Amino acid sequence: MEISTLATYHCLAFVWYFFVAYSITHVKTEERPSEVFLYGGQWKYLTVLNLVLQAVFYGVSFLADVLRLIKKLRCAKCVISSRDLLFSVLAFPVSTFVCISFWTLYTYNRELVYPKSLDGVIPLWLNHAMHTAVLPFALLEILALPHRYPAKKKGLILLGFVAFLYISWVLWIYSVTGEWVYPLFALFSPPGLAAFFAGSLAIIISFYNFGEFLNRMIWGQSKFSS
């Protein structure tokens, strides 16, 4: 894909994610169901954090394209490295996890992840923008251009560290409010919850490996040196 075309695509994707993140973070206070937007607001939900992550990723991608267009290759090289690290370790696996885990649980019992009370607050298009469109965007990014993956150990350590931070945030919110971020968590005993978190981490790691596999199969892209 031509650099100018990539720049247009990345710019539009950035604007889209910025708009979606803005839309969900500006739900009118009086319309928010009391059982949903407690301590931590929207920032306790992985879905909302992923929207911000995607906006940052596409912003960095657009910057890399612009630097290449204006021949600032030394600066572009550094930004491209950051872009590829963001995509490989976070943007692709988190988007895939958000989409698949949400719709799996929603199909099983929506009250565990997305209470029916939200239907009157969050329009259908916004729900799909947050939980459905993120996966096609991630797949399109793999098809659009190659991404250099880090050494496997480095990539998994970074992914695990981010997962640890989010789990810590979830547990902190529970310690403060006595309420779980997602009603699903209340179904588990402490050992069961630990097993659930471990299983979720294993799944997101499998999505990381899947992204690397797709990238290699399509582009044959070499890895970062360790």
Instruction: Show pLDDT as tens, one digit a residue, over the chain (226 residues).
Output: 788 899 999 999 999 999 999 998 877 645 555 555 567 778 899 999 999 999 999 999 999 999 988 888 788 899 999 999 999 999 999 999 999 999 999 999 999 989 888 888 889 999 999 999 999 999 999 999 999 999 999 999 999 999 999 999 999 999 998 889 998 999 999 999 999 999 999 999 999 999 999 999 999 854 443 3
Q: For the chain, give every domain's residue range.
A: 3-25+40-219
Supply the pTM of this predicted model. Answer: 0.90
Distance of CA 201 to the CA centre of its chain: 14
Coil, helix or strand at residue 54: helix
